[in-house]
Amino acid sequence: MLEKDATWVAIGFIMFLLLLVYFKVPGQIAKILDNRSQKISDELEEAKKLREEAQTVLAEFQKKNKEAEKTAKAIIDDAKKIAKNYEKDAKIKLEESLERKRKLLDQKLKRAEVEALSAIKDEVSEVIFEAINKSITSNNIKPSSYDKILQDGIKQIRK
């Protein structure tokens, strides 16, 4: 039996296992594996804590984001209200300004109308008096009709 290779391999293998047990290799391997297992467990625990912290931070940011959106919406609504108020004020001021300008134009037009009528009356008066003077000086008209012409001229001027 010692002549077979398988026997020597089996003896060598058994001796190898005995050497491993003598030098406490399985304990060291177990210790290394336990350390590795503990390290992985610690990393998983830390990862869980980090995940929880990240979820907390995310929730806070979402809450702040919602608050910021509400604040922005309120600011926009206020700005719209202010813009509408400015628009109303501007319209009122424009209407007031247009009304003042219209009144001024009406006054100027009436003044110009009065001045034009006055100028026309003055011009007509001068023409009539000139005609009367010419007719008086030319002796073409009888003295009795002077009063009638004068009265007709005055009536024309008053119209």
For 66-101, the pLDDT digits (tens) are 999 999 999 999 999 999 999 999 999 999 999 999
Residue 43 contacts residue 51 (beta carbons within 8 Å): no
Please count the structural domains in the chain: 1
Q: Once rounded to an integer, what is the mean pLDDT over residues 98-124? A: 91
pLDDT score, position 137: 66
Nearest to 129 by CA among 97, 98, 153, 156: 153
pTM equals: 0.43
Ranking 55-64, 95-104, 108-117, 142-151 by mean pLDDT, the lowest is 142-151
Token pair listed for 96: 């007031």
What is the domain extent for residue 154? 5-158
Which amino acid is residue 76, in one-letter code? I
